[in-house]
Structure formats: structure tokens, C-alpha cells
Amino acid sequence: MTIKKVLQYGEKSLREPSKEVHKVSKKIQELVQDLLDTMYAKNGVGMAAPQIGVQYRVFVVDVSKNDEPLNPMVFINPKIIKKSGAIVAQEGCISFPEAYTDVKRYKDIMVKAIDRHGRSFVLEAKDGCLLSRAIQHEYDHLDGILFIDHCVNRFETDEILAKHNLPPVEPDMLIDDPKQDEELNK
């Protein structure tokens, strides 16, 4: 299909919530392929529709390593139905070129979604693996939440963003999750 222009942090539409998909139509199939093509072209592990300016609840993930065959996963209308544990790990985002910071995520998640063929599925990702973190990262995009909203240190993150000529963290968007903090302090 097509490699799309990726919106950069600061674009207002990255903060807007996405709409549910009512039918896995030809248009949605094309969107999925565009997301995959763009993600692979940018060497990403995930890409959400809002990152290319499309406000639908669709994202793709592929956590295969260099020596493994591609393993694209498609999530339409995803819902995280279970989450537990907590982990701190460094993350980046295609919408934040070259900027990486430590963020808090759940270790274990269970997600329910629809695949590119319109079939419902449930997937579990455990132990803070890349798949678990990537799903949470892309899922957030669908609600206008960005990875920096989960940052461990806002001021350090601001310095990193400034180095890459990106706007600072929006303090009112920072995620306060006492349950996650409690897990991290165990």
C-alpha cells in the first residue's frame, strides 16, 4: 500500500481519542496495510492509526527480532481487560524521533481485539516483555495518551525532548496510577 507521513509530537490530533471501527471494511484493510508499511519503513515495533492522522481504534505491532520472520499483529477496537504488576523500561516512539525516556508500564496484560479478518481474539503478554509494553504504548495512542505521559522523571524527559527540538511534557497529561506505583515500590 503506502508509507504514510507520521505526525510528530506537538500535532494536536495525537491528543484526540479515536472512534470505534464498526466494520472491517476494505478501507480498514487498507489502513492496516498502510500502518504496517509505515511501521516497517520507520523501523518501529508498533504504529497506531492516529499517528498517521486517522482517528480509528486500530494499531499494529511486530516484535520480531532481526533474524526472525516478520510477525505482524493487528488490533482493531482493542480493550485491555486485565493488567497487573509494574515495570520501568525505556521507550521511544516514531512520533518522537530519537527521543527515549524511562516510563512505567504494567508487566502483565490481557487484551481483547478484532484481527484484520474481523475475528475476535484474546492475547496475554507477560513479564514486561516487549509485546506487553508495545501493546500498552499503541493502545494509549487510541485515547490520545503518549508514552511521555507515563514518564518516570518529568524534568529528565523535558531535557531529552528539548535536545530533539520537541515540546516539553504537558504536566496536566501525566498519568497518576497509584496501583502501578505501589507495584513498583514492592
62, HSE (Cβ side, Cα atoms, 13 Å):
20
DSSP-based three-state secondary structure for 38: helix
Catalytic residue among 11, 98, 138, 170: 138
How open is the CA angle 158-159-162, to the nearest 5 degrees?
Answer: 85
Name the CA dihedral angle for 141, 184, 127, 108, rounded to a multiple of 10 degrees: -50
138 catalytic? Reply is: yes
H/E run at residue 74:
strand 73-84
Closest listed residue to residue 70, CA positions, set 58, 78, 79, 60: 60
> Is the distance from CB of 166 to CB of 10 less than 8 angstroms?
yes
116 — phi, psi (to 5°)?
Answer: -65, -10
| Residue type at 75 in one-letter notation | F
Active site residues: 138
